[in-house]
Amino acid sequence: MLTRDYFRAVERALFDYPSLKKQLVGRERWIECRCRGGGEPVEVGKSSVRPVHRYQETVVEAKERDYTFMILSAKIQAINDAIDYLPDVMKDLVTMYYFRDMSRVEVMCELNISEREFFRQRRRIVERVAPYVVGPFGMGDND
């Protein structure tokens, strides 16, 4: 059984998922822009052009060195891994309630479940997702 604070922290991670994905895309674009500006050009004929494969390697290396990018990636991957192991009904609830920001009533109507079943499923989801988000979200076992 999860403590109330731990339960809320896991739920916050789920609610933050869409925002994390946007942040990751923004960070990826920022890294790519920085990589476009640096590096040594290679002369091809009379013009200087950087080879595409070298640019891609530079971007990959920059992403691996970027702490923020790596943390965002780890958090998103942790949630993706957790969601992959949920039954389809729970996945639907997670998608609607946490990712699409639908209200509890809208989710209950869409899934044709009672309020009691909604809260039961929500608790089970958080309990199943919790082990995946402990490390990447900086939550310890005693938090």
Same domain? 90 vs 75:
no
Same domain? 23 vs 66:
yes
Is residue 108 within 8 Å of 115, Cβ to Cβ? yes
**Tokens 């005693």 correspond to what residue?**
142
Same domain? 66 vs 18:
yes
Is residue 4 within 8 Å of 20, Cβ to Cβ? no
**pLDDT tier, 3 (very low <50, low <70, confident <90, very high otherwise):** confident
Same domain? 63 vs 96:
no
Interval 80-91 mean pLDDT? 95
Same domain? 76 vs 108:
no
Same domain? 114 vs 80:
no
Of residues 64 and 43, which shows the higher confidence score? 64
pLDDT of residue 143: 43
**pLDDT higher than 60, residue 139:** no
Interval 60-84 mean pLDDT? 93
pLDDT of residue 43: 47
Counting other chains too, the contacts that 90-94 makes at CB distance below 8 Å and 24 or more residues apart are: 90/121, 90/124, 90/125, 90/128, 93/118, 93/121, 93/122, 93/125, 94/14, 94/125
Determine, yes or no, domain membership for 75: yes
Same domain? 36 vs 65:
yes
**pLDDT higher than 50, residue 90:** yes
**pLDDT tier, 51 (very low <50, low <70, confident <90, very high otherwise):** low
Q: Hey, what are 12's tokens?
A: 């916050």
Determine, yes or no, domain membership for 36: yes
Percent of residues in the chain assigned helix, strand, coil, to nearest 5: 75, 5, 20
Task: Measure the CA–CA gap between 45 and 129, rounded to whole angstroms.
Answer: 56
Average pLDDT taken over every residue of the chain: 85
The count of residues in the chain is 143
Interval 43-54 mean pLDDT? 56
State what percent of residues in the chain have pLDDT above 70.
83
Same domain? 64 vs 21:
yes
pLDDT of residue 142: 47
Determine, yes or no, domain membership for 135: no
What 3-state DSSP class applies to 25? Answer: helix
Task: Measure the CA–CA gap between 9 and 127, rounded to whole angstroms.
Answer: 12
Q: Identify which of 44-48, 109-113, 137-141 has the greatest average pLDDT.
A: 109-113
- The whole-model pTM stands at 0.77
Q: Give the total number of structural domains in the chain.
A: 2
Task: Measure the CA–CA gap between 134 and 81, rounded to whole angstroms.
Answer: 13
Same domain? 36 vs 92:
no
